[in-house]
Amino acid sequence: MRPCAASQAAIASGAELVSIAGGRLALAEGRFSELDSIAQAYGIAAADGVVLDVGATIGADGGVERLLAATLGDAYNPAAVQPVCPCTDLGHDDVAILKMECG
C-alpha cells in the first residue's frame, strides 16, 4: 500500500493522544482488510472498539456524491438520510458534523 501523506499527518498529530492513553490507543494506517494483521503487529488480541477514518469527506467538488450516484445508480437518493452503519440512525453528514465539533 502506498503511504498517504494525510493519514501520516493525522497519525503524527495524534501522538499526544497515544501518549495520554497509556497503551490503550494505537493509531495505524492500513486497509480495513488488513485490520487483523495490523492488530497483531501492535500486539492487540482483542479490542473494545475500533474507529476507522475511511477517507470520504464532504467536499465542494461533490466527489462522494458522484461516487455514490455512479455506484448505486437510480437507487441513490441524496435527499434520503442513510445510516452510516446499523448501530446508529446518524447519516454521513451528521457524523461529519460531530467529527468537526468533537475534533
Residue spans of the domains in the chain: they are 1-55, 57-103
Query: What does DSSP assign to residue 91?
Result: B
- Report which residue type is found at 20: I
CA distance 32 to 36: 9
Query: What does DSSP assign to residue 24?
Result: S
Q: What is the pLDDT along the chain (103 residues), one digit of tens a residue?
A: 556 666 777 778 888 888 888 888 888 888 888 889 988 998 888 888 887 776 655 555 666 777 777 877 888 777 776 776 777 777 766 666 555 555 4
pLDDT of the residue at 58: 55
C-alpha cell recorded at residue 15: 501522538
Q: What sign results for the dihedral spanned by CA atoms 12, 54, 35, 48?
A: positive
Q: Is 83 strand, coil or helix?
A: strand
CB 102 within 8 A of CB 94: no
pLDDT of the residue at 103: 46
